[in-house]
């Protein structure tokens, strides 16, 4: 007799059933024995044959079985209860795998590539500019002088022009959390060119995931230009996410940012200047660090939009961080070795990993809106412009937060040759007062060194700072010395110096940077010494000689490796051509090669020459001695 287990094809299986049925009919046991069996077989074949096999093929099974084995089980079932349990187990197993697949898909969908916007959209222009008019070169030149940028060209350039994706390739590989906080993008402007304001706003809309833009807040600091009134309102009417707020009186850039932050409704404040163009993938890299830690502030990588041609130019990634000097200027400094090593340890794509930066360039940053309030917002006592970026940078680091420069967030910025607006007073006085006010709040015991560089700053009234000091006390902020030693040790403190101030030789000539220290690559000159206090250009002659053998200006180290003279270059802390020794007995500034710093009156340079006893051009004294 052929067993059911040997029936491996449907034809043979049904032949066997018919043969057995005939035999059982003769034996009169058909109804009793096979009635239930046939019904049960139909049920099992329907469920297992159509469901289980299909599920195994489509969804997989942790213990896959051959289709023939499933067929055997279907046609040769165990007792009824066992079959029922096996079917339920199979569906439980299927349910588990479906749930597992859903969870996996949800996990995968939590991370997405940065939004890259749309390209080749129909161009949008100012509705009152006739694009068919001949080019008026004279008017173009006139408008450049008035607006400190090529407004004529800007007015004839699409407001939604495509921005090139200049990111490093690894930026395109990065994925970001799908669930990120939505931002209020705040654009403060005063008498800005309408086309520039609109291009900034429209580019933000075009290059951003709409779910991450709560609003674009245009804050008009009481502009007087007519094109920023009805024409502006007309051009933004079709964009519900653009909201316009107008100040009743002009407050200046710093106060306008403060007041606009109080109008914002998004979870994140994202300040941009009103003459910027974000590029593809710019937003997610700024928001994700804040989503992970609300005390983190992020700063985009700034590229240049040429003020005359509007051509966008930028590098693939960032090779500098924001530093600080004793004049409280923000400066671009080479990435320190400690930061290079940290990125290599912590990020699979270190070349585009976020960078810890001591300072920010200005008004382009993203920050949790509530955290901005907790830190005391901007100092309302600051004037129109200047120092607010340093005040916020100090406050972030010294009061428990952190600040990151984000290479994968690239924003173009029009760097104009000068400010097109007035400072509501003397420009120099406003900026100086702002710096002094910030220094008096944050510099602690280092304040006297700040005044050694700018002695005439001592007597300038900066108003009441008790409220700012109270905020610092409430937040239990650390000292300025902690900030320098921990966040930006490239800047020496007084206790790190042998000497400072004017370095004068016995020929009554002083070392003079002549501004070469501001940009790097400049030569150390020899100039006339200044006598007495109150000279604004004193900083050009303010040098520092450190205990770790560096002769430096306020920004860079002198380096003898570039010819006869001394050049200013980034301090690399590796000795060599940047290592000097001061001999208090001979007053010579020496290097290991036997050469000494020498004042060359003819060349008006400080050069390295063979050391000579009793040469008054090689004998140097410090204005401030620390030995």
**Does residue 60 carry a pLDDT above 50?**
no
Tokens of 17: 């059933």
pLDDT band at 186; cut points 50, 70, 90: very high
**Does residue 6 carry a pLDDT above 60?**
no
**Does residue 164 carry a pLDDT above 60?**
yes
Mean pLDDT, rounded, for 567-595: 93
**Does residue 457 carry a pLDDT above 70?**
yes
Q: Write out pLDDT tens, residues 242-269.
A: 999 999 999 999 999 999 999 999 999 9
Mean pLDDT, rounded, for 224-235: 97
CATH 2.80.10.50 residue ranges of the chain are: 494-625
**Residue carrying the six token digits 């509007």:** 310
How many angstroms separate the CA atoms of 66 and 502, rounded? Answer: 89
Predicted pLDDT of residue 110? 79
Distances 502 to 445, 527, 544, 552, 587 between C-alpha atoms, Å: 22, 11, 9, 12, 14
Considering the domain 494-625, what is its CATH architecture?
Trefoil (2.80)
Q: Write out pLDDT tens, residues 29-47.
A: 444 455 555 555 665 555 5
How many angstroms separate the CA atoms of 485 and 482, rounded? Answer: 5
CB contact set of 236 (below 8 Å; sequence gap of 6+): 198, 201, 218, 242, 244
Give the range among 92-96, 521-525, 601-605 with minimum mean pLDDT.
92-96
Q: Is the separation of the CB atoms in 554 and 326 below 8 Å? A: yes
CATH 3.90.550.10 residue ranges of the chain are: 122-159+177-414
E-only strand ranges, 131-212: 175-177, 183-189
3-state secondary structure of 267: coil
**Does residue 76 carry a pLDDT above 60?**
no
506 beta partners: none
Mean pLDDT, rounded, for 274-279: 97
Give the range among 58-62, 138-142, 277-281, 612-616 with minimum mean pLDDT.
58-62
Predicted pLDDT of residue 2? 40
Distances 75 to 68, 108, 253 between C-alpha atoms, Å: 11, 41, 83
Q: Is the separation of the CB atoms in 281 and 295 below 8 Å? A: no
CB contact set of 46 (below 8 Å; sequence gap of 6+): none
Percent of the chain whose predicted confidence (pLDDT) is above 70:
80
Q: Is the separation of the CB atoms in 564 and 557 below 8 Å? A: no
pTM to 2 decimal places: 0.80
Predicted pLDDT of residue 531? 72
E-only strand ranges, 101-179: 111-113, 175-177
Q: Which residue has the higher pLDDT, 538 or 404?
A: 404
DSSP state of 153: H
Alpha carbon 111 to chain centroid distance? 19
Give the range among 142-156, 347-361, 367-381, 556-570 with minimum mean pLDDT.
556-570
Beta strand 111-113 with 355-356 is: unpaired
CATH fold for the domain made of 122-159+177-414: Spore Coat Polysaccharide Biosynthesis Protein SpsA; Chain A (3.90.550)
């Amino acid at each position: 007799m052929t067993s059911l287990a040997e029936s491996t094809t449907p034809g043979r299986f049904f032949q066997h059933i018919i043969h057995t049925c005939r035999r059982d009919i003769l034996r009169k046991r058909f109804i009793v024995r096979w009635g239930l069996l046939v019904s049960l077989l139909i049920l099992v074949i329907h469920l297992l044959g159509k469901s289980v096999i299909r599920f195994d093929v489509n969804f997989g099974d942790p213990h896959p079985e051959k289709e023939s084995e499933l067929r055997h089980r279907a046609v040769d079932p165990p007792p009824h209860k066992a079959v029922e349990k096996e079917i339920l187990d199979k569906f439980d197993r299927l349910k588990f795998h479906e749930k597992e697949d859903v969870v996996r898909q949800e996990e995968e969908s939590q991370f997405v590539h940065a939004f890259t916007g749309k390209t080749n959209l129909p161009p949008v222009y100012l509705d009152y500019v006739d694009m068919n008019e001949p080019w008026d070169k004279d008017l173009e030149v006139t408008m450049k002088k008035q607006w400190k940028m090529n407004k004529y060209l800007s007015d004839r350039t699409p407001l939604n022009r495509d921005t090139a994706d200049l990111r490093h390739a690894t930026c395109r590989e990065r994925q970001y959390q799908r669930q990120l906080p939505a931002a209020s993008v705040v654009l403060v402007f005063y008498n800005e060119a309408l086309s520039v304001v609109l291009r900034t706003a429209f580019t933000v809309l075009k290059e951003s995931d709409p779910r991450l833009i709560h609003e674009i807040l245009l804050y008009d600091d009481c502009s007087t230009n007519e094109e920023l009134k009805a024409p502006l309102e007309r051009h933004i009417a079709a964009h519900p996410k653009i909201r316009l707020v107008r100040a009743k009186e002009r407050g200046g850039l710093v106060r306008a940012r403060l007041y606009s932050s109080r109008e914002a409704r998004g979870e994140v404040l994202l300040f941009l200047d009103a003459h910027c163009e974000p590029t593809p993938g710019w937003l997610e890299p700024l928001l994700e660090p804040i989503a992970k830690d609300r005390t983190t502030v992020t700063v985009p990588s700034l590229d240049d939009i040429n003020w005359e041609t509007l051509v966008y130019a930028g590098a693939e990634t960032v090779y500098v961080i924001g530093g600080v000097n004793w004049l409280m200027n923000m400066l671009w400094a080479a990435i320190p070795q400690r930061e290079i090593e940290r990125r290599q340890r912590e990020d699979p794509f270190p070349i585009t990993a976020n960078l810890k930066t001591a300072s920010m360039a200005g008004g382009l940053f993203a920050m949790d809106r509530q955290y901005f309030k907790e830190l005391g917002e901007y100092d309302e006592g600051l004037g129109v412009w200047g120092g607010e970026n340093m005040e916020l940078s100090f406050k972030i680091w010294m009061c428990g937060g952190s600040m990151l420069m984000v290479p994968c967030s690239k924003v173009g910025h029009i760097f104009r040759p000068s400010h097109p607006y007035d400072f509501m007073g003397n420009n120099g006085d406003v900026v100086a007062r702002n710096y002094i006010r910030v220094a008096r709040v944050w510099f602690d015991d280092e304040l006297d060194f700040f005044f050694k560089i700018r002695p005439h700053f001592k007597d300038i009234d900066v108003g009441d700072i008790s409220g700012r000091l109270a905020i610092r006390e409430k937040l239990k902020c650390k000292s300025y010395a902690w900030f320098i030693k921990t966040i930006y040790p490239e800047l020496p403190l007084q206790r790190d110096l042998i000497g400072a101030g004017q370095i004068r030789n016995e020929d009554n000539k002083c070392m003079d940077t002549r501004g070469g220290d501001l940009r790097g690559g400049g030569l150390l000159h020899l100039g006339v010494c200044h006598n007495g206090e109150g000279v604004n250009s004193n900083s050009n002659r303010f040098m520092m000689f450190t205990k770790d053998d560096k002769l430096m200006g306020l920004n860079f180290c002198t380096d003898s490796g570039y010819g006869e003279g001394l050049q200013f270059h980034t301090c690399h802390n590796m000795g060599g051509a940047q290592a000097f020794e001061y001999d208090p007995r001979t007053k010579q500034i020496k290097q290991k090669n036997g050469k000494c710093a020498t004042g060359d009156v003819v060349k008006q340079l400080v050069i390295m020459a063979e050391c000579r006893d009793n040469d008054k051009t090689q004998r140097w004294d410090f204005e401030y001695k620390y030995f």
